[in-house]
Amino acid sequence: MKGLGVDGVWGWWGRWRGLAAEKPFVVDVGIALLVQAAMTMPFVVPRPADLPPATWPAYGLTTLTVVPLLWRRRAPVLVLLAVFAASALYKLALDGPGQPLPYTGLVIVYTIAVLSPPARRLASVLLLLVAIPASVGLNTRSARELTFAFFVFAAAYVFGRLTDARRRAQRVEAEQAAARERARIAREMHDILSHAVSLMIVQAEAGPVAVRTAPERAEAAFDAISETGRDAMVQLRRMLGVLREGGDGAPEGSPRSPQPGLAGLPDLLDRVRASGLDVGYATTGAARPLPDAVGAAVFRIVQEALTNTVRHAAARTVSVRLAYGAQELCVEVVDDGRGPRSGPGGGGGGHGLVGIRERAAAHGGTAAAGRGPDGRGFRVRARIPVPSVAGVTR
């Protein structure tokens, strides 16, 4: 055990839990062998002459009390009965060396507390209330032994119930984490596809008109459609790589985050400009590096706000502004379109604005949408706390 620190212990415990989940019978065999080793001790340690002898028949019957543990998961109550029966036979027929603890009984009581439904647990407790005094009556008949026996069996039962409660809590936590992950993936898919399809529709609708009036613009429109589609495919491949990460067929070195960051904003704005929308971009305050997750959230907020403008606003211009404050970053997207609108992504609270609010809230911020300055157009504003430069981790 030399050199085994806390990390080593937790690593060993993690491997043991993984083995228990994948090959429970192997674990049961290991537990049975461990119990057998403990029960062998009184047979190999030299004994005073006035104590019962350590004979091979006694040792064989001791082993018989351990063997049922191999089926402890399949029929724990029957195993408990078998253990009690074998123990009683050992005491009445041979009366060999005693044991400092009822190892087999404690293991199966713990198993019942973890795995059995309430009715079987209750039946097992009632059985223990009868079997423990009977066992003490066959042994020392002392109140000390009776108290100790009740204590250790109660401790095994309580420990089993605590283990079951912890497992249930872990399952609930895992389900909640899976639900959050599904919601995150849904937001990512919505943002990627909604933005790309909206720009492609706008360009495709403008293409036939441009072909008749300005062929050079038609070529640019088709180029923009192609570029938007390729960008969407790249982002979707990244996301699928993340979903496959750790599984069979996962590409080595798959990125852990499919989202682009602030460095991708210029390309995003260029794609929107290609749709014919006049897009302005400005930053104020002392710009500083942001954590990757915050940068990705800012990118998606701007992307969704621009997608809403392209799809719903009938606007001519839109401005994007990032204002760096001492403790927060303010993201503002304002267009000169027809103002609040209803429907998905619009002012009526559709998926687009819901996603913007969720992204901001995920980083401790807020987001709001409504009429623009002077009551004209539409404005999306998000405020996200950002750490100081020293606190940024990449």
Give the domain CATH number at 185: 3.30.565.10
State which of 88, 121, 141 marks the end of a domain. 141
User: Is residue 132 located within the same domain as residue 197?
Assistant: no
Which token pair is 69? Answer: 């543990």
- Distance (Å, rounded) from C-alpha 226 to C-alpha 201? 12
Report, in this order, helix, strand and coil percent for the chain, each rounded to 5.
65, 10, 25
Q: How many domains does the chain have?
A: 2
Could you tell me which of 312, 306, 240 has the C-alpha nearest to residue 269? 306
The answer to whether residue 13 is domain-embedded is: yes
Burial of 311 per CB tally in 10 Å (0-12, 13-18, 19+): buried
Sign, Cα dihedral of 236, 237, 239, 240 = positive
User: Is residue 353 located within the same domain as residue 272?
Assistant: yes
Rg of the chain, C-alpha, whole Å = 35
The answer to whether residue 105 is domain-embedded is: yes
User: Is residue 193 located within the same domain as residue 329?
Assistant: yes
167-185 confidence digits (pLDDT tens):
899 888 888 888 887 777 7
Looking at residue 11, what is its pLDDT? Answer: 60
Looking at residue 213, what is its pLDDT? Answer: 67
Looking at residue 389, what is its pLDDT? Answer: 56
User: Is residue 77 located within the same domain as residue 30?
Assistant: yes
Looking at residue 94, what is its pLDDT? Answer: 73
User: Is residue 241 located within the same domain as residue 193?
Assistant: yes
* H-run or E-run covering 333: strand 328-335
The answer to whether residue 34 is domain-embedded is: yes
97-133 confidence digits (pLDDT tens):
777 788 898 999 999 999 999 999 999 999 999 988 8
The answer to whether residue 151 is domain-embedded is: no
State which of 95, 124, 141 marks the end of a domain. 141
Question: What is the domain extent for residue 294?
Answer: 175-246+255-391
User: Is residue 124 located within the same domain as residue 181?
Assistant: no
User: Is residue 102 located within the same domain as residue 207?
Assistant: no
The answer to whether residue 82 is domain-embedded is: yes
Looking at residue 10, what is its pLDDT? Answer: 55
Looking at residue 250, what is its pLDDT? Answer: 43
Residue with tokens 């108290």: 147
Burial of 286 per CB tally in 10 Å (0-12, 13-18, 19+): exposed
- What backbone phi and psi angles, to 5 degrees, belong to 339? 90, -165
Please list the rounded mean pLDDT of every run of 10 residues in the chain (394 residues). Answer: 53 62 80 88 77 77 87 90 84 73 90 92 91 82 88 93 91 85 76 73 68 64 71 71 54 50 87 85 89 88 87 86 92 86 48 82 89 85 79 47
User: Is residue 188 located within the same domain as residue 74?
Assistant: no
